Structure 1
Amino acid sequence: MKIFKSFVFFVVIFLVFSCDNNKKNTVVKSNDSLTAVQNSMIEPMKKALPIEVDELTTLIGVDKDKERNIINYQYDVKNTPEHTLLLPSTLDTIHQALFNAYCENTEEMQQLKTAFPDGANYHYFIDNKEIVVVELTPTDCRVK
């Protein structure tokens, strides 16, 4: 099944993050500077949208949660029935791929976790209906 290619989208995210090195060594000391760092990471991604991850999955949105320091990714899944996306094996595969990429000890992921210390949420939509949400936090990586 081609849904399992969702892991590919992280390559795209890493490329977008690596394009913006202006705030790379910023020390986060206040909410204003944290917001500036978050915006410097999100804005280049927004300009590149939509980003086709694979033939079934497209990154259609990225934003910051209004109440917490969480980055939200929104994906559109095409040509896939809702019940297929909700199969336990599919959900496990998606969660494991996201977990592995999010918990990688790369410079880009460290920057992401510093800028968004409350985590990342991955929202999957079919026909504008939210079907799956995967929530990850830096603490999840320590439980491994």
Structure 2
Amino acid sequence: MKKCFCFICVCFFINYVANVFAGEQSSNDPAQQLLVRNIKSRLPLKFDEYTTLVDVSIKNGMLDFIHEIKGISAEKFNDPQREKILHDLSIVKYCKYDPNDAMLKGFFPKGFNYNYYVEGKQVLQIHVDKVDCKPN
């Protein structure tokens, strides 16, 4: 089953790359939709005592992650220093090589949006893409 899924992903990836180079990338790309469905099937995903990934979608060609924060007030997100720390951590995670994330980055070259919500209210959005990755 796992080999079959990997084979299907590789086929979609080859088709996706061909379409990107031909300038035919669609917002309804079946490979992107397949990956999003696969991620959604594993949700909710608790990262730590405060943060849970509750949804993922495609918006404007970017992978859009929705995180729910519990146990931290919305006011704490108004701190520019805290926002910078979270932005820097997001860049480190995005730019670090991880074989699992490499496929996602290939399918979503416009990058990822990390959205953080407290009690149903968006308190922070962080966008990262390959431009944020600096060569060593």
Using the size of structure 1 for normalisation, the TM-score is 0.75
Segments ≥4 residues shifted beyond 3 Å: none
Q: Distance in 2 between the 1:94 and 1:71 partners?
A: 18
Q: Distance in 2 between the 1:52 and 1:121 partners?
A: 18
Query: Which 5+ residue runs of structure 2 have no aligned equivalent?
Result: 20-24
Using the size of structure 2 for normalisation, the TM-score is 0.79
Q: Distance in 1 between the 2:29 and 2:134 partners?
A: 25
Cα distance per residue 1:21-69 (max 9 Å; x no partner) = 231362222236x81221222111111111111111111110001xx21
What residue number does 2:10 align with?
24
Cα distance per residue 1:80-128 (max 9 Å; x no partner) = 1112122233212211111111011232232112101111000000110
1:102-121 matches, within 5 Å, as 102-121=94-113
Q: Distance in 1 between the 2:128 and 2:100 partners?
A: 16
- Aligned CA RMSD, in angstroms, stands at 2.0
Identity, % of aligned positions = 21
The DSSP-based 3-state class of the residue aligned with 2:71 is coil
Task: Name the amino acid aligned to 2:69.
Answer: V
Q: CA deviation at 1:135?
A: 0.5
1:25-40 matches, within 5 Å, as 26-27=13-14, 28=16, 29-30=18-19, 31=25, 35-40=29-34
What residue number does 2:58 align with?
64
What residue number does 1:122 align with?
114
The DSSP-based 3-state class of the residue aligned with 1:105 is coil
Count of matched residue positions in the alignment of Structure 1 and Structure 2: 122
Computing the radius of gyration over CA atoms, which structure comes out larger, 1 or 2?
2
Q: CA deviation at 1:143?
A: 6.9
* Greater RCO (CA < 8 Å, at least 6 residues apart): 1
